Amino acid sequence: MAVSLIPLASAVTGTLPDANAPTGSVLQVVNSTFISANTTTSTSLVTTGYSVSITPTSSSSKILITFGGEMGNNTNNGSGIRLAIYRGATNLTGSTGYLEYTQTSGIALYQTVQWLDSPATTSSTTYTIYYCASNTGTAYIQANSSADFPAVMTLMEIAA
């Protein structure tokens, strides 16, 4: 008598997170790099086009958003750059932005920001970085468009 076995790997599909993961466990990580330059003279928030999407496995999960990149302002008069993080069309970080980096020289620095969100959904959720000049001048992110030193956005789903 012949016995037919179904390979387990071909019978399992989809994402199978650990339903018993302790609070604070990382359930998934989504990451993207960006090398395209962004510049603006606007003092109102505008999109960078840097977006990453994640589909939470639980509606109680938290999403930790981390963004880092070379940024600054081309003036030497104390102007700078503001950043904001949006979930869809919702500004999570306030009308004037989350990070305000003010400089007294035109030197760009690599800056990193983080935000912990509670999207309360299991639908695909997109996070986008917005920015503006904080006073005058031209605010920029990734002015050199270097693949050797890209901007990076990471989303981590955290069990709650």
Is 20 within a domain?
Answer: no
Q: What's the half-sphere exposure (Cβ side, CA atoms, 13 Å) at 8?
A: 0
Is 26 within a domain?
Answer: no
Domains contained in the chain, number: 1
Segment holding 26, helix H or strand E: strand 26-34
Higher pLDDT, 10 or 131: 131
- Mind listing the pLDDT tens digit for each residue in 10-62? 444 445 456 678 998 999 999 999 998 889 999 999 999 999 999 999 999 99
Q: Give the domain range for residue 49.
A: 31-158
Give me the CATH number covering residue 127.
Answer: 2.60.120.1340
Is 10 within a domain?
Answer: no
- Mind listing the pLDDT tens digit for each residue in 50-102? 999 999 999 999 999 999 998 888 776 667 888 999 999 999 987 766 666 66
Q: How far apart are CA 67 and CA 129, in angstroms?
A: 8
Is 36 within a domain?
Answer: yes
Q: How far apart are CA 61 and CA 151, in angstroms?
A: 26
Is 53 within a domain?
Answer: yes
Cβ-Cβ contacts under 8 Å for 19 (sequence gap 6 or more): none
Is 103 within a domain?
Answer: yes
Is 13 within a domain?
Answer: no
- Please report the pLDDT score of residue 108 as a whole number: 66
- Please report the pLDDT score of residue 57 as a whole number: 96
Is 21 within a domain?
Answer: no
